[in-house]
């Protein structure tokens, strides 16, 4: 009998344990279910503010939202723990639809709390908001045109200079709210930092919007027509070019006994090195030393290539020519003749005498007589001419070296055809 009773007792114990386990599981399940469905209230801070419909507002009404007074809000939500505990501030969005706004004005709007997809909001309640409304400005969009300015931040190599920078484009347009546009005066470009320039530089660089005081302006809410500016700095070589004149020797005057003074004696030019490298002097004029007795003075415009820049600013130079060691004497000569008379033409010399000025050393002139001097007119260019003409005459001094006439002379010749 004892084994049978012991077996029965074990079976009863097993049943009791099973019943106890089932009751415990039911109790735990009941607790969990009741806890998850319990209603709790939680505060969510830093919920981001989101504006929707801005593109519609801009494209349809040419309006834009600026100066939003806050970027996040605080909300208090009540609901089942299992739902509330699954949320966080970054999952939520305080959303404002601005697409229906119609005019530029100061605005204050309530926002709508947007939950993540899949959240059952039927048992959720929004208890409080802080702030309850979002304040902002609705502004009309306008466009202005501003100049581009800038500066080269590098250095110039020795012997070079730079012209003003060139910007392409040299103006840009900026679009934005009036309140922001009124601060914008010009666009500033910095370029060439760290470079030592001996030739022209071109860089594609960004720009900074500046106000009239030279301070940078925020680009928030502003849109520029360009992202970068092509900045070019023209670099020019600098060179001092001597000034000179060409001399035609004659009548005893040579480069050896002629003193030429040029004031100023040089000019400073800037330009392309390909042009300047080949320039060793600038000739102001050609001076015939037989055109004057002993001295000559004239002011000449300094000629140079139009592509070059006149750094010194001088545009004229004064030339003085002095002939040293020579003197002049006046002679009245009667030895007058013509050559190369055209065929079929007779030439009658009407001039009986001619006063000439002869230049040379005092010793030579003291030995010179009028019989040593003759005037000859060349009629080669008078083939078809008839009548009296004043014909240029060349003066010859026979038997004397480095002695000659000074000035221009003419004789009267009457040309006749039979």
Quote the CATH superfamily of domain 145-233.
YbbR-like domain (2.170.120.40)
Q: At 1, list the tokens.
A: 């009998």
Where along the chain do its domains lie?
1-36, 39-131, 145-233, 239-323, 327-416
Question: Which pTM value belongs to this model?
Answer: 0.58
Question: What pLDDT is recorded for position 65?
Answer: 92
Question: What pLDDT is recorded for position 3?
Answer: 53
Regions of the chain short of the pLDDT cut 50: 1, 30-34
Task: Classify domain 39-131 at the CATH topology level.
Answer: RNA Polymerase Alpha Subunit; Chain A, domain 2 (2.170.120)
* Fold match flag (145-233 vs 327-416): yes
Question: What pLDDT is recorded for position 6?
Answer: 61
Question: What pLDDT is recorded for position 7?
Answer: 60
Helices (H), 196-241: none
Alpha carbon distances (Å) from 379 to 199, 335, 382, 394: 59, 17, 5, 12
Cis-peptide into 131, omega within 30 deg:
yes
DSSP state of 224: E
CATH architecture assignment, domain 239-323: Beta Complex (2.170)
- Cα 37 to Cα 172: distance, rounded to the nearest angstrom: 63
Positive or negative: CA dihedral 196, 202, 204, 205: positive
Strand-pair category, 160-162 with 235-248: antiparallel
Tell me the pLDDT tens digit for each residue of 155-208. 999 999 998 999 999 999 999 998 899 999 999 999 999 899 888 899 999 999
CATH architecture assignment, domain 327-416: Beta Complex (2.170)
């Amino acid at each position: 009998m004892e084994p049978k009773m012991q077996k029965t007792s074990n079976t009863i114990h097993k049943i009791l344990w099973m019943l106890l386990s089932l009751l415990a599981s039911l109790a735990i399940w009941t607790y969990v279910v009741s806890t998850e469905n319990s209603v709790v209230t939680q505060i969510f801070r830093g919920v981001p503010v989101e504006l929707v419909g801005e593109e519609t507002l801009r494209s349809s009404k040419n309006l834009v939202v600026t100066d939003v007074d806050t970027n996040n809000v605080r909300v208090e939500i009540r609901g089942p723990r299992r739902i509330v505990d699954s949320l966080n501030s970054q999952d939520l969005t305080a959303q404002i639809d601005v697409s229906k706004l119609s005019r530029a004005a100061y605005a204050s709007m309530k926002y709508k709390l947007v939950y993540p997809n899949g959240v059952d909001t039927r048992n959720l309640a929004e208890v409080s908001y802080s702030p309850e409304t979002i304040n902002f400005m609705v502004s009309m969009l306008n466009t202005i045109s501003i100049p581009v300015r800038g500066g080269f931040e590098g250095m110039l190599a020795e012997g070079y200079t730079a012209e003003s920078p060139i910007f392409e484009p040299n103006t840009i347009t900026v679009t934005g709210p009036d309140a922001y546009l009124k601060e914008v005066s010009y666009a500033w470009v910095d370029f060439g930092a760290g470079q030592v320039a001996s030739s022209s530089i071109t860089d594609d660089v960004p720009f900074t919007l500046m106000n009239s005081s030279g301070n940078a302006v925020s680009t928030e809410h502003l849109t520029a027509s360009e992202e970068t500016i092509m900045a070019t700095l023209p670099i020019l070589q600098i060179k001092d070019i001597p000034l000179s004149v060409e001399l035609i020797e004659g009548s005893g005057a040579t480069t050896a006994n002629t003193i030429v003074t040029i004031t100023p004696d040089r000019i400073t030019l800037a330009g392309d090195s390909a042009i300047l490298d080949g320039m060793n002097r600038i000739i102001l004029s050609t001076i015939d030393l037989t055109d004057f007795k002993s001295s000559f003075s004239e002011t000449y415009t300094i000629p140079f290539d139009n592509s070059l820049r006149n750094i010194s600013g001088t545009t004229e130079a004064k030339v003085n020519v002095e002939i040293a060691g020579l003197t002049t004497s006046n002679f009245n000569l009667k030895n007058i003749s013509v050559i190369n008379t055209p065929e079929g033409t007779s030439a009658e010399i009407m001039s009986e005498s001619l006063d000439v000025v002869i230049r040379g050393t005092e010793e030579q002139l003291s030995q010179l007589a009028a019989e040593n001097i003759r005037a000859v007119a060349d009629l080669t260019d008078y083939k078809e001419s008839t009548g009296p003409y004043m014909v240029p005459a060349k003066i010859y001094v026979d038997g004397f070296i480095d002695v000659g006439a000074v000035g221009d002379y003419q004789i009267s010749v009457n040309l006749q055809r039979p």
